[in-house]
A and B are shown apart, each in its own frame.
Chain A
Amino acid sequence: MKRIAILAVAFALVLAACNGNSDATTTVPSGTDDTPPPAAMGDLLQTVIDRGSVICGVNEAVPGFGYTDADGNFSGFDIDYCRAVAAAVFGDAEAVTYRALTAQQRFTALQSGEIDVLIRNTTFTASRDGREGATFLTTTFYDGQGMMVRSDSGITSIDDMANLSVCVLSGTTTELNLAARFGDTPFTPLTFDNNDQLQAAFVAGQCDGWTSDKSQLAGVRTNFPESEGGPEALTILDETFSKEPLGPVVADGDSQWAQVVNWVVLATIQGEEWGLTSANVKDYDGDNNEIRRFLGLEVTTDEGTAVFDPGLGLPTDFAVQVISQVGNYGEIFDRNVGPSTPLGLQRGFNAQWTDGGLLYAPPYR
């Protein structure tokens, strides 16, 4: 009995300590006297430069986005954005340390400073922005949630799926959308914390449907074992039942680092708009001052010639490094998930604004 009492007191003390200032947090804005100031501007950028590599939190199980091959090499759309950040900061796209994270681990890793940036098909939502201490940057991939079923199941719509079972990765927005989409319709959700065990359950027929972002489904579909019929055995239903804007995430409190990562993404988008590719960006010698500013080339103005520096904390030629080493948005898309890859995704919403898509980079001036 004594032991129980001691443990109870100890436990209550921790809870009390944790709860003690809960009112203060809602009323006291951060930065006042009794709260420690947020990390000083530029701390993380300097830390990253001193360290010599960017620590990037990624996925390892979604072909096309973040995937490790048998030799442990990372590749994919998200991985290329990690490389782009390294190219911008160091001029070396290989200066990246990858941390493979599960969906559940990712925000904790970001909050604790274990990673510098999270690029792991992470959906931008209000509560994640607010409650997870995360800053979401420019969306790199506009996705939506879909449902994948066996081609021979006869299911043509999610409305056919009452009382069936659906496999979903736990700790994801897809889990919430799934519950909302089914509403009062009874179904059995089976939550797994890794894609491999989920696939085993799906192959065994334990779940009738597999729900996730459509791009992810396309990725795992290409990887579906031939012994089970290969990609043809699976159908992704037409319905898209959520908005899933995916993009890089950094921790709150360091706006300079957020700017750096943000403008790396914007540079790939701007580069494509101007037709700058990894093949031609280094040879640009035109007289378009907008492009010359963007590439850190000398610009002639009334006061003479100068190199434009927007003050982001990046080298003035970072866009050249990003595009020459990693590519513009279109190149990154086509290389990893585009029509010529096994995933075979079309640009859709992920086209330039000039082509009716959602990609739109603010002016670089």
Chain B
Amino acid sequence: MTGTEISTGTRSPLWRNVRVIRVALQVMAVVVVFGAIWILGTNLRDELIAKNLPTGFDFLNQPTGVTIADSSFKPSSPVWAALIAGMKNTFALTIVGIPLVTILGTLIGVARLSTNWLVAKAAAVYVETIRNIPPLLIILFVFNVVILPLPAPNDPATPLDWFVISNLKIVGPGFTSSPGAGILLIIVILALVAAVIVGRWRTRYSDQTGEHHHRMLWGLGVFAAIVLVGYVVTGRPVAFSLPVLEGRVITGGFGGLGSYFAVLAALVIYTASHVAEIIRGSILAVPRGQTEAANAIALTGFQRLRFVILPQAFRFALPPMINQYLNFTKNTSLAIAIGFAEITLVTFQLIGNGFPAPQLILLLMGAYLLFTLTISLIANVINRRLQLVTNR
């Protein structure tokens, strides 16, 4: 430390000490930010009181009186249950949508770099058209042009007797569950963990002995054995079922409202166009020498992509992909335009029926925050894992 105090020998005054200034600035920034939030919050509260509007969150326990399509929600259920029902529908969109977006986006991104002229141009046209159309228009288009022209629910189409398709509801083969299905789900998760452990053990074994690891075979075998035993032990709680149409009631099978599929398809189509560009850019960012090296050891085109290019490209792609996943989640709020009861529609429905708007909008923002932070958290964990591999 002595070396830093050169000529005078006296300590510099506190207000010129860099470390003190840094800390002070940070403290000030925190105070300003939280002060602003506090002022906004109290301002909101005072205005509400002045206008004789309810503050507080007591309304969450009152019955809503509204109904929500295709859900077990009853008009006598409280407000918080309605919000949960809305979040479930938003979750149903994101959990199915994000994997589909990843797959479709990757396919199109790879296709755009294809040496086949037709495939490359088709992918280019897709990306350039779709990503320049607002997602709301795509949702309205899919709903009005694809879903509504389907047969009306009083005379649905039943292709192969496996599906019941109408513009109200689309149901396909699925599983019916009885009590015990929850336990089976836990067993399946445990089986998955066991399979991963066995796979790791096989990898280690292979590293030590040099014998082939067959880890896929081993893992799947362990997984199948555990699940099969669990299935029998829990009393076969899950059965394959086809949708059955009786009058207007569809029992069995697995499906959703027409509006659900409209939002899902529209947002997957839209977001995939952005993901495709990310994938294309990431593939181009992999050094050319990697391709040449892969060619030099005579890998096929598919092998080159699967084992050399894509694993590296995904590392570049992941951070911007997280953004697209978040966009997908936030864009689900556009479903309000076609009446799919996700969290935004439910919130507005409640506001329209006399529940306080400021509080509900705060809760709505909180709900989206919860969704997006969860997604970033998961994605960041994956990202860190990928990054570690490079640093090793």
Contacts and interface: CB of A to CB of B under 8 A. Distances in A.
Tell whether A and B belong to one assembly.
Answer: yes
B353 A175 contact: yes
Interface string A234-255: 0000000000000000011100
A363 interface: no
A17 interface: yes
Interface size grouping (class) on chain A: 35 or more
Interface in B353-381: 353-359, 362, 365-366, 369, 373, 377
A170 B352 CA distance: 7
B339 A197 contact: yes
Interface string B158-175: 000000000110000000
Contact of B55 (A19, A128, A170, A197): A19
A13 B38 contact: yes
B41 interface: yes
Interface stretch (A140-148, A184-192, A280-288): A184-192
A26 B152 CA distance: 51
B51 A111 contact: yes
Given A22-B58, A190-B339, A253 B345 contact: no
Interface string B44-64: 111011111111111000000
Given A191-B345, A193-B336, A179 B152 contact: no
B31 interface: no
B50 A35 contact: yes
Interface string B14-51: 00000000000000000001100110111011101111
B188 interface: no
A208 B247 CA distance: 14
Contacts of A70: none
A41 interface: no
B149 interface: yes
A109 to B, nearest CB: 11
A36 interface: yes
A18 B154 contact: no
A18 B153 contact: no
Contacts of A207: 168
A187 B259 CA distance: 16
B89 interface: no
Contact of B339 (A19, A35, A193): A193
Interface in A289-334: none
Nearest to A169: B352
Nearest to B55: A22
Interface string A134-169: 000000000000000000010000000001110000
B348 A252 contact: no
B81 interface: no
Interface of B: 33-34, 37-38, 40-42, 44-46, 48-58, 65-70, 75, 144, 148-149, 152-154, 167-168, 247-249, 258-259, 336-339, 341, 345, 348-349, 351-359, 362, 365-366, 369, 373, 377
Q: Top 3 closest A-B pairs, CB basis?
A: A171-B352, A17-B41, A22-B56
Interface of A: 4, 7, 9-11, 13-25, 30, 35-36, 38, 103-104, 107-108, 111, 125, 127-128, 131-133, 153, 163-165, 170-173, 175-176, 178-180, 182, 186-193, 197-198, 200-201, 204-208, 251-253
Given A22-B54, A205-B152, 12 more contacts: A4-B373, A10-B37, A17-B45, A18-B362, A25-B54, A25-B55, A107-B351, A125-B354, A200-B148, A206-B152, A206-B258, A253-B51
10 contacts: A10-B34, A11-B365, A18-B57, A22-B56, A107-B352, A108-B357, A165-B153, A170-B352, A187-B67, A191-B69
